[in-house]
Amino acid sequence: MDARWMMRRVYGADHDDPDPGPRPDHAYVELAGGPLDGLLLDVTGRPDDDLADGAALLTEIGAYGAGGRAWYRARPGDRRVWQWEGDTP
C-alpha cells in the first residue's frame, strides 16, 4: 500500500475513531472531487463487476444534506481513483 495512503481517513470511519486510516490487508480506491474528496473507500472483496458500477455513498455534506448520496465511479484509465459524478437525494 502506498505510504501516503496510510495517513488518510477511510470513508465510514467515525470521526472519533483513534485509527480511522486504512488497514494493510484491505484494498482501497481514492475518492476524488465532490463532498468526499480525499477519503479512501474500502473495496476489499468486491467483485470487478460491482466496482465497474461505482457507488452512491451516503453523506451529510453533499448537495442534499442528511440522507443524500454522492456518486463516484472509476476514473477512466485509473481504476484506483473514483471520480465524483454528482449528488442525488
Q: What is the pLDDT along the chain (89 residues), one digit of tens a residue?
A: 566 666 789 998 888 888 888 998 999 999 999 999 999 999 999 998 888 889 999 999 999 999 999 999 999 999 999 999 999 99
Which pLDDT belongs to residue 33? Answer: 97
Which pLDDT belongs to residue 50? Answer: 84
Which pLDDT belongs to residue 4? Answer: 65
Which pLDDT belongs to residue 6? Answer: 63
CA distance 70 to 77: 21
Which pLDDT belongs to residue 16? Answer: 87
Buried/exposed 19-54: b ≥16 CB within 10 Å, e otherwise? ebebeeeebbbbbbbbbbeebbbbbeeeeeeebeee
Which pLDDT belongs to residue 3? Answer: 64
Helix (H) or strand (E) holding 11: none
Angle at 11 between CA 8 and CA 73, to 5 degrees: 105
Which pLDDT belongs to residue 52? Answer: 86
Strand, coil or helix: 76: coil
